[in-house]
Structures are given as C-alpha cells and as structure tokens.
C-alpha cells in the first residue's frame, strides 16, 4: 500500500541561495540512477555522489560534506543504519534521510537512533521526495504520514507509562516540543504552535539533548519513545 508524505509547506529557494547538495547510498543501480536523474533535472539541487555500499561512502562523504544524504537501510555488508551511525559524528551539519521499503517500528527507531533526521519510503514520487529534501535542509524532519502516526502512537504510549528515570526527566513542555520535532515541525512552526519565541524553542531543544545525552533530533525521539523496544532487541537472538 502506498503511503503519502505528510503535507509540508513548499519551500522555495531564491536565486541567491546555494543549491542543496545531495549524495545517495543505494545498492540498487536502477534506483540510484533514477534518483540521480531526478536531482539533475530539478532546480535547486546538485547531485554530489552515489555509492552502492556503505563502506565506499565512509571514505568519501566526510570529504565531500553534502547537505543531505539519501541512505538505503539494507545494503550489502554494513547496513545503512550503521553507516549513518559512523558518519553523523563526522558530518554534524549533514542531514541523513533513510530511503527504504521498511516501515516497521524497529527499523524506524533504529534509523532515528543512529542520527537520521528523516525517513521516506521508496515509493515516494518525484515531487514528494524533492519536497522532503528541501524540508529536511530547512530544518524539518520529513516522514510519511504512516510513520508520523507510528511516532505519535509511541509518544502516546510513553505518556501513559509510570514515571521512571528514563521517562520523567523531561518536563511537560519539553515533551511537547520533542513530539512536534518528531512529527517534522520546523523550529518556527513549533514556536507559533506553542506561542513562544524561536529562541525559547532552541533553549528547550538544547535542554532535551542534554537530558537525554543525544546530539540529534532523531536520537532524542528514538531514545525517549523507544526504550522498551531497544531492550527487546537486545534480548532477541542473533
């Protein structure tokens, strides 16, 4: 079943703004070439590089420093999730968007914990994928409506849990900010929705990162809503 992306505002690039530089890590050659062709013919984008395995990208991407990386999850050898986990500390300004066929909770939150900012399904059409790349570059967190619902459900389940060391450290307002981050809101949109300033939003987010000991929005969301899932994965036989 095809899941459409949650509608996002159209973000126009002015002629004076640098184009968004995108790299692709995808082992399916036809898919990689289709994505490259989409970027080549789209205004406001530059295709930087393409890789068919994670290992090759590890040596090149830190030098190329693209703005956005589209990363497949299931790759030969190292997985896309492990690749992002290694690259994110070296490329803190680069946004990693998982581009995959998987839509289950384990894959979603593994990707977010690794440092990914967005999560798109491979059946996303041309215009929606490009809109998502613009959105993540502007500070959003693109994901399909289905995945956004899964994240919201996890927040709902978390709020119903008895307080523990891991789920009471955030204040009510911090949880509100984190949930909006998880749903893909920009800082400006969070500020407008909560009737606070963008600077205040930024302060909340810095405190959230400090309390959860994370460095990205994806890691914060994954750690906060998915602790029981992480524990169940550790107990699973390999």
Paired residues of 95 in beta bridges? 68
pLDDT tens, 3-56? 443 334 444 444 557 899 999 999 999 999 999 999 999 999 999 999 999 999
Q: How confident is the model at residue 216 (pLDDT cuts 50, 70, 90)?
A: confident
Q: Contact at 8 Å (CB) between 102 and 73? A: yes
Between 218 and 98, the more confident residue is 98
Strands 20-25 and 95-100 come out as unpaired
pLDDT of 59 reads 92
pLDDT tens, 178-208? 888 877 788 888 888 999 988 898 888 888 8
* Cβ contacts of 208 within 8 Å, gap of 6 or more: 170, 174, 177, 178, 220
Q: Which two tokens stand for residue 6?
A: 């949650």
User: For residue 48, which phi and psi values (nearest 5 degrees)?
Assistant: -95, -50
Paired residues of 23 in beta bridges? 49, 69
Considering only CA atoms, which of 154, 147, 174 is closest in space to residue 227?
Answer: 154
pLDDT tens, 75-119? 999 999 999 999 998 998 999 999 888 776 677 777 877 888 888
pLDDT of 157 reads 57
pLDDT of 61 reads 96
Q: Contact at 8 Å (CB) between 51 and 78? A: no
pLDDT tens, 125-178? 888 899 889 988 888 777 766 666 666 666 555 554 444 444 447 888 888 888
3-state secondary structure 80-141: HHHHHHHHCCCCCCCEEEEEECCCCHHHHHHHHHHCCCEEEECCCCHHHHHHHHHHHHCCCC
């Amino acid at each position: 079943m095809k899941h459409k992306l949650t509608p996002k505002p159209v973000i126009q690039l002015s002629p004076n703004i640098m184009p968004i530089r995108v790299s692709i890590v995808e082992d399916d050659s036809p898919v990689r070439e289709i994505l490259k062709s989409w970027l080549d013919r789209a205004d406001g984008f530059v295709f930087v590089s393409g890789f068919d395995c994670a290992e090759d990208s590890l040596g090149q991407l830190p030098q190329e420093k693209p703005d956005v990386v589209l990363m497949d999850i299931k790759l030969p050898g190292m997985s896309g999730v492990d690749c992002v986990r290694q690259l994110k500390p070296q490329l803190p300004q680069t946004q990693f968007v998982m581009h995959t066929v998987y839509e289950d909770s384990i894959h979603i939150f593994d990707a977010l914990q690794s440092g990914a900012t967005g999560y798109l399904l491979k059946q996303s059409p041309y215009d929606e994928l490009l809109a998502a790349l613009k959105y993540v570059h502007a500070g959003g967190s693109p994901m399909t409506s289905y995945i956004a619902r899964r994240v919201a459900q996890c927040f709902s389940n978390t709020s119903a849990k008895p307080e523990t060391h891991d789920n009471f450290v955030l204040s009510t307002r911090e949880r509100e900010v984190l949930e909006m981050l998880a749903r893909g809101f920009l800082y400006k949109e969070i500020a407008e929705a909560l009737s606070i300033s963008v600077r205040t939003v930024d302060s909340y987010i810095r405190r959230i990162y400090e309390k959860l000991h994370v460095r990205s929005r994806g890691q914060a969301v994954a750690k906060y809503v998915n602790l029981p899932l992480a524990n169940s994965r550790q107990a699973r036989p390999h």
